[in-house]
Structure 1
Amino acid sequence: MSNEHHARTMLPIPDRPATGLTTYDAKDPETNFPPIEPLLPPKGAPNVLVILLDDVGFGASSAFGGPCQTPTAERLAAGGLRFNRFHTTALCAPTRQALLTGRNHHSVAMGSITETATSAPGQSSVRPNTKAPLPMTLKLNGYSTAQFGKCHEVPVWQTSPMGPFDAWPSGGGGFETFYGFIGGENNQYEPALYDGTTPVEPPATAEEGYHLTEDLTDRAVGWIRQQKALMPDRPFFVYYAPGATHAPHHVAKEWVDKYRGKFSHGWDVQREQTLARQKELGVVPADTELTPRHDVITAWDEMPDELKPVLERQMEVYAGFLEHTDNQVGRLVDALEDLEILDDTIVYYIIGDNGASAEGTMNGAFNEMANFNGMAALETAEFMLSKMDEFGSPTSYNHYSVGWAWAMNSPFQWTKQVASHWGGTRNGTIVHWPNGIEEAGGLRSQFTHVIDVAPTILEAAGLPEPAMVNGVQQAPIEGTSMLYAFNDQAADERHDLQYFEMFGNRGIYHRGWSAVTKHKTPWVMVGGEMPAFDADVWELYDGAGGDFSQARNLATEQPERLAQLQRLWLIEAVRYNVLPLDDRSAERVNPDLAGRPTLIQGDRQLFFPGMGRLSESSVVSIKNKSFSVTAEVEVPEAGARGVIIAQGGRFGGWAVYVTEDSHLKFVYNVLGIHEFSAVATEPLPAGKHQVRMELAYDGGGLAKGGDVSLYHDGTQVGHGRVEATQPMIFSADETTDIGYESGTSVTPDYDLHTSRFTGKLHWVQLDTGADDNDHFIDPEERLRVAMARQ
């Protein structure tokens, strides 16, 4: 091991002062200091571009036999390698943390998504500082680093604009540049964006042609060009994770219309067509069998005829969305080619962070939040038909049917979240690196996993795995470099043991064999009895014996082998903090029951004007209870208008605001389907006033309605009725804003540009579960509230 190689095991690399004669006068001929040399990786270290798409199944992309055209993926595959046994964790945040650290997802505390984190070591969502991320290692070795797109690895109590930013990409994540969004999904037309840790608004509107994926690509291309213009000798690490094709499936109509009528045969036939194409391409063995449809997935022929046009449109939108995304990846690849650096860039094109998503119910969804709130029944066939032409547009927050997700995972069983079966965890992956891969257009079938990406990049760059980062001793990387297979198709696979687990769905792979058990169905989000873990039925599959798709269950024929693999799963589960298994739903959403911190405590919250981009976890919950909003405002003689406080947006939320004619108004928007309002009978007078809205919740269960009262200075000026409320969540991306509204608007009464309050807003107070018979907050009470926060 060279001295330089050894020195790089401790990061930052310790400075070594120059030795030799120190002169008194710099003009002395004996004065001699070595020139300052910038830190660079070892000579020959390549650029790295990691592309991670979202919610794309193995059988979706045309590069792996699917119906969605992905010419960029095909182009990269023709010049590089397809890996047809590459695996993820079955869910987004765990896959991303595993990718960026080279460790198993429970090992880095990301057993599920951040929103369901618990205090268990494998589930806390807090990455141990003993497992530094790859971009940090690369940055401390002289790489330029940048991320564009989705970051779903920040603990929910750290997602407000105040941080702390340890887990943010440009905070403690090792990326010098970040442009994208924090969370699981985002509106492609009106996203909540961050530039570093600063909230920013999109540079254009949907009406002006804005689309998030295009914006992210513009930023990535611009950054790469500038980096190479200013630092041509310094390699870069770019992580491009656009958030597409996660729901909502948003794309312009011209991309959707390319696929009009191409899915009228339905999902059962689509799976047959996909498998035939996969065999023709050679991305699956010729003897691969199509796995059967499970009873909980409805056959296409059994779906209601009146719904089928909507179901077809859902898949047309998705296909257009994926092709559009691949087109944007193409722009990125073209930029590398134009700069003449494509040959010396390792491009990882990972087509999906898990299997295709079955979170849209059997009928699909115009607004996916309906199912997340247990209110999918509101989206009737009649309603869906009335919205059919809006799917994919800015007025939709759509998802496709479970049936299409299942088909997009062909030829495998199950979908995203089901970590037991390959339908949830196998994702087509392409590696392109002409300077390091001799064979163009090759296929690699060694078992690989997302934790293998980090050690591959380190080996390709000639960098050692760090033993110390920022003064903290590091735990070993758990992945296996894939470099050995790049130029040896017949090489024995080196990653021959891997556990899987997500929400109790679990499996183990060992030397060709897999033992698996499904525990929980992804689209059953509310209700449903969970079986005991020991009651789950395990299956056994022989991949080494030719069962590529897990089609032939050998559990009854080989019970001893099954028992051995079950025991091996348990050993790995203990080793990587998988235990205790946790299949809870509502309990994990509740921070108190889950044992994770919350940013806000108690039943009262005080806001000031200009505060915004507050995620739902950053605001006291008003769901399923009475609540009030009180604000002190100053109204000019000409009157005022605009938002006092708004939470959520077009697809669900509420707002207290002043109308164009200076009337206080409250609107509660249920999933973009029903809107309930109350408006004051008289305008708000000029001067300083206290305005108040009270909702008296009916009680008796979740999602009930309530009576609304409006007040000026403690005097009632209006009333109304909310017939239903959202019990679980307003949005995955919309926020709470004070004195304005970002993102989409709760009501069409105002928009992003007219939402800002034109009077003077002093403060806003949100109270839950408490009655105030005075309907007024006096100065002494305000003082007590303020002092209680000290």
Structure 2
Amino acid sequence: MMGKDYPWRKYLDKFSKLTATTLAASLIASGAGGPGMDKGGKVAEDTPEKTNVMYIVLDDAGFSDLGSFGSEINTDNIDALAENGLRYNNFHTAPVCSPTRASLLTGRNPHAVGMGNVANFDFGEKYPNSRGAIPDEAGFVTEVLAENDYTNFGVGKWHITPTTELSAAGPYERWPLGKGFDRYYGNLEDSSDQFRPELFRDNSAVPLPDAEDYHYSEDIIGNAEQYVTDHISIRPDDPFFMYLGFGAQHMPHQVAEEYIEMYEGEYDAGWDVIRKERFESQKELGIIPEDAELAPRAEGVPAWDTLSEDQKKVYTRFMETYAGFLTHTDEQVGKLVDSLEEMGELDNTMIVFISDNGASFSGGPNGATNQARAYNKLPEDLDEINEKYDQIGSGETNSDYPSGWSQVSNTPFPNFKGSTHAGGIRVPMIVHWPEGIESKGEVRSQFTHVSDITATVYDVLGIEPSGEIGGIEQMPVTGTSFAESFDDPEADTGKNTQYFELSGKRTLYHEGWKAVSQHEPGTDFDDDRWSLYNTTEDFSELNDVADQHPEKVSQLVDIWHVEAEKNGVLPISENFLEGLGNLPEGNLRSRETFVYYPGMSHISESAAPLTLDRNYRITIPVDVEESDEGVLLALGNDKSGYTFYVKDGALHYENHNGADRYKISSDESIPEGKNTVEFTFENTGKNQGTGTLFLNDEPVGEAEMETLPLKASFEGMDIGKDLLYPVSPDYADEENFPFTGEIEKVIFDFEESEHILAK
């Protein structure tokens, strides 16, 4: 592919660019003024040449997934950015997404801005570095650029607001518009269904567009194109910034069948063969050095040749889906780049393309079709998955590939997302900026970190961030510019040291060496053993030389503690998913009583009352007539959740945990007039309890239930209807199944504010 021109370069010779001067002349002729003009309508002589900035972020894509980084997957549009820009093979992120995104958008280290873990967790006052709330002292790149006449657009995944704040009532100060974005459209949570996402525009929840063959990636690109087109059409002289966060390649892997079919048979050889092929391709491309080594197969990943035919059949379908999903994503990137090209804005736009962390192993050994079960660490067996074989990649499943394929994505490195080893934190970065970078198609090997990207943007734009934003004194930007590497492959950027930490896993990079801690849960962190890697000689970080260089280990461990102290990493906690049930004082989910009223907008599951492993009561006063039916309250989707509804005159409660469904129904019809529906749950043990349904204070049925341990669902809560995916198949044919009677309110009462198992 080297040396080829852009695949999207279609119209350059056919149409001339509309320059600012030409537009100014047309505006003057029409009697209008315009951006960059003085009061007389003339183009100001001191108007600087503009540079737009765009961050494009893939989710959970590994180091080798792009064609330009060694993959067999068709990513021609992204590869064209690499061919006409630069590829960085020593780029690092945080091990999971929220810390990476916080670091990217602020130019600071993640713990220093309160995002030491994902935004779903609030570990309380003891761990101020892991409460999911970025302080005002850490101004976003959008806030800085706004002071320099940029208009700021955001589309796609956000996930850097405490998720308990993702309700229609906010608070909004940590939503995109509260952080310097002028327009925003996308999903605010950690992941998104690709066919029926939970969407927000600016500060409002919005319904799913009524579009045939809808796909989320296409939707956000359509909005991105609209934002840019509006801006360039009306204010052509003014620069813009865009943050584009794809839901791809995060679970669920969902895409139209035609994209899956593109890769039919491509992966029949299995993950061992494909990983070796990528490894050799990386050497041919110069992405990895000739002496690089391939990590051994990860623990728990079997040799492909030992698998049964059923295993091979299912596992290849998962990978075909992942590959098709990425090709579809690449096409969307191409559409946006086409738009920039056609409007004459591509060459003066600095595009930085990254993944937010390494590939995920959440799919486990068999892969997954149910996101709720996967995140709750409840693996599906092969027979269950095989029954859904034809549905993998569709909206009927939340697919994720097996960990054997995620190791392929991370070729040549060991380990996965969530680790501070290479497989979790070394990912591709492409920088494309024709007007600012003379070098084309080359590889850069300087150590770089996600916090350095915004620092580099400030550097090349000549911006010195102000000491105050909105009257609030700002923390220093701690990222290091790597702009000198743009046209000098040997440039010393001065980035000598970088710490990493997640849930007790620690790494320190310093002057070509990496120390990685080996921590046993429940033990003292001071007792950790540290591995040591000489990254200048050991590209893949496979050869532990700690025993040969004990003094170097001691040096790096000491530096890690200095950096940890400097960036607010201490104290550290080894908790991770346990944080989903943590309700410290002041958390918006920690109240004992919640009251919701009909007409309330859809809210995220993370902002709805936490019902797992707690004693609680739900009360719903209603007024019904004989023919009334519909949903009273629903949280979740067809993969997990709970719902109250009236159908065929009877009252029903249904709860399912991704494997089993529990349904309670009244034997007699609900009386006409005013009624009170109640449901109580008595916790009888870990992830289990007794549910009882009442009608007008009389029990109408009960069931012993097993509940999910950590997260109830990946779809939120509705009053009086069930948006997006229906919780119960009993009303799946009824769109939203709105209640035709009257709901007075919905009340959740808890015996105590704390999560029972979090005491």
The match for 1:87 among 84, 89, 92 is 92
Q: Which residue in the other structure is 1:582 paired with?
A: 573
Q: Which residue in the other structure is 2:14 paired with?
A: none
Q: Distance in 2 between matches of 1:40 and 1:369?
A: 59
Q: Distance in 2 between matches of 1:596 and 1:401?
A: 38
1:134 is displaced (CA, Å) by: 0.3
1:345 is displaced (CA, Å) by: 0.7
1:585 is displaced (CA, Å) by: 4.0
> Does structure 1 residue 65 correspond to structure 2 residue 70?
yes
1:625 is displaced (CA, Å) by: 4.1
Q: Which residue in the other structure is 2:149 paired with?
A: 142
Q: Distance in 1 between matches of 2:577 and 2:505?
A: 18
Q: Distance in 2 between matches of 1:435 and 1:380?
A: 53
Helix, strand or coil: the match of 1:170? helix
Q: Which residue in the other structure is 1:667 paired with?
A: 654
1:302 is displaced (CA, Å) by: 4.3
The match for 2:185 among 174, 179, 182 is 179
More deviation in 48-57 or 615-624?
Answer: 615-624
Helix, strand or coil: the match of 2:111? coil
Aligned partner of 2:512: which letter?
G
> Does structure 1 residue 196 correspond to structure 2 residue 202?
yes
Q: Which residue in the other structure is 2:528 paired with?
A: 536
Q: Distance in 1 between matches of 2:337 and 2:501?
A: 34
> Does structure 1 residue 385 correspond to structure 2 residue 386?
yes
* Contact 1:85-1:426 at 8 Å conserved across structures: yes
Helix, strand or coil: the match of 1:115? coil
* Contact 1:610-1:740 at 8 Å conserved across structures: no
> Does structure 1 residue 295 correspond to structure 2 residue 299?
yes
Aligned partner of 2:279: which letter?
L
Helix, strand or coil: the match of 1:570? helix
Residues 536/407 of structure 1: CA separation in 2 closer, same or farther (3 Å cut)? farther
Q: How do residues 315-354 of structure 1 correspond to structure 2 at under 5 angstroms? A: 315-350=319-354, 352-354=355-357
1:691 is displaced (CA, Å) by: 2.5
Q: Distance in 1 between matches of 2:688 and 2:135?
A: 42
* Contact 2:153-2:181 at 8 Å conserved across structures: yes
Residues 624/446 of structure 1: CA separation in 2 closer, same or farther (3 Å cut)? same
Q: Which residue in the other structure is 1:606 paired with?
A: 595
> Does structure 1 residue 272 correspond to structure 2 residue 276?
yes
Residues 464/291 of structure 1: CA separation in 2 closer, same or farther (3 Å cut)? same
Q: Distance in 1 between matches of 2:596 and 2:42?
A: 50
1:124 is displaced (CA, Å) by: 2.4
More deviation in 182-191 or 123-132?
Answer: 123-132
* Contact 1:52-1:240 at 8 Å conserved across structures: yes
Q: Which residue in the other structure is 1:227 paired with?
A: 231
* Contact 1:244-1:321 at 8 Å conserved across structures: yes
1:580 is displaced (CA, Å) by: 1.3
* Contact 1:41-1:143 at 8 Å conserved across structures: no
Q: How do residues 81-120 of structure 1 correspond to structure 2 at under 5 angstroms? A: 81-118=86-123, 119=125, 120=127
Q: Which residue in the other structure is 1:504 paired with?
A: 504
Q: Which residue in the other structure is 1:652 paired with?
A: 640
Q: Distance in 1 between matches of 2:644 and 2:49?
A: 59
More deviation in 191-200 or 684-693?
Answer: 684-693
Q: Distance in 2 between matches of 1:586 and 1:481?
A: 34
> Does structure 1 residue 630 correspond to structure 2 residue 619?
yes
Residues 259/586 of structure 1: CA separation in 2 closer, same or farther (3 Å cut)? closer
Q: How do residues 354-393 of structure 1 correspond to structure 2 at under 5 angstroms? A: 354-376=357-379, 379-393=380-394
Q: Distance in 2 between matches of 1:122 and 1:429?
A: 27
The match for 1:571 among 552, 557, 562 is 562
Residues 460/596 of structure 1: CA separation in 2 closer, same or farther (3 Å cut)? farther
Q: Which residue in the other structure is 1:702 paired with?
A: 686
Residues 506/625 of structure 1: CA separation in 2 closer, same or farther (3 Å cut)? closer
1:397 is displaced (CA, Å) by: 1.1
Q: Which residue in the other structure is 2:542 paired with?
A: 551
Residues 66/476 of structure 1: CA separation in 2 closer, same or farther (3 Å cut)? same
Q: Distance in 2 between matches of 1:364 and 1:40?
A: 60
More deviation in 366-375 or 646-655?
Answer: 366-375
* Contact 2:679-2:691 at 8 Å conserved across structures: no
Q: Distance in 2 between matches of 1:583 and 1:39?
A: 57
Q: Distance in 1 between matches of 2:49 and 2:221?
A: 27
Residues 171-205 of structure 1 show CA distances to partners (whole Å, capped at 9, x for unaligned) of 2x110001011111011111111000100011036
1:49 is displaced (CA, Å) by: 1.3
Q: TM-score, normalised by structure 1?
A: 0.86
> Does structure 1 residue 744 correspond to structure 2 residue 725?
yes
Q: Distance in 1 between matches of 2:45 and 2:422?
A: 40
Identity %: 36
Q: Distance in 2 between matches of 1:323 and 1:518?
A: 37
* Contact 2:630-2:721 at 8 Å conserved across structures: yes
* Contact 1:598-1:618 at 8 Å conserved across structures: no
1:37 is displaced (CA, Å) by: 11
More deviation in 40-49 or 126-135?
Answer: 40-49
1:297 is displaced (CA, Å) by: 3.7
Residues 39/185 of structure 1: CA separation in 2 closer, same or farther (3 Å cut)? farther
Residues 320/518 of structure 1: CA separation in 2 closer, same or farther (3 Å cut)? farther
Q: Which residue in the other structure is 1:412 paired with?
A: 413
The match for 1:756 among 723, 726, 738 is 738
> Does structure 1 residue 122 correspond to structure 2 residue 122?
no
1:707 is displaced (CA, Å) by: 4.7
Q: Distance in 2 between matches of 1:570 and 1:443?
A: 33
Q: Distance in 2 between matches of 1:37 and 1:468?
A: 34
1:78 is displaced (CA, Å) by: 1.1
* Contact 1:612-1:735 at 8 Å conserved across structures: no
Aligned partner of 2:314: which letter?
V
Q: Distance in 2 between matches of 1:613 and 1:754?
A: 12
Q: Which residue in the other structure is 2:713 paired with?
A: 731
Q: Which residue in the other structure is 1:43 paired with?
A: 48
* Contact 2:615-2:750 at 8 Å conserved across structures: yes
> Does structure 1 residue 474 correspond to structure 2 residue 481?
no
> Does structure 1 residue 685 correspond to structure 2 residue 668?
no
Q: Distance in 2 between matches of 1:307 and 1:745?
A: 31
Residues 672-715 of structure 1 show CA distances to partners (whole Å, capped at 9, x for unaligned) of x3222122222223322222334455x1x22325353341x234
Instruction: Let me know the Cα RMSD of the aligned residues.
Output: 2.3
1:457 is displaced (CA, Å) by: 1.3
* Contact 2:518-2:531 at 8 Å conserved across structures: no
Aligned partner of 2:448: which letter?
T
* Contact 2:581-2:710 at 8 Å conserved across structures: no
Q: Which residue in the other structure is 1:775 paired with?
A: none
* Contact 1:45-1:460 at 8 Å conserved across structures: no
1:279 is displaced (CA, Å) by: 0.4
1:371 is displaced (CA, Å) by: 3.2
1:461 is displaced (CA, Å) by: 2.0
1:82 is displaced (CA, Å) by: 0.9
Q: Which residue in the other structure is 1:6 paired with?
A: none
Helix, strand or coil: the match of 2:464? coil
Q: Distance in 2 between matches of 1:543 and 1:584?
A: 29
Helix, strand or coil: the match of 2:729? coil
Helix, strand or coil: the match of 2:271? helix
Q: Which residue in the other structure is 2:628 paired with?
A: 640
Residues 553/179 of structure 1: CA separation in 2 closer, same or farther (3 Å cut)? same
Q: Distance in 2 between matches of 1:618 and 1:499?
A: 32
Aligned partner of 1:725: which letter?
T
1:722 is displaced (CA, Å) by: 4.5
1:619 is displaced (CA, Å) by: 3.1
Helix, strand or coil: the match of 1:495? coil
* Contact 1:356-1:409 at 8 Å conserved across structures: yes
Q: TM-score, normalised by structure 2?
A: 0.90
Aligned partner of 2:209: which letter?
P
Q: Which residue in the other structure is 1:525 paired with?
A: none
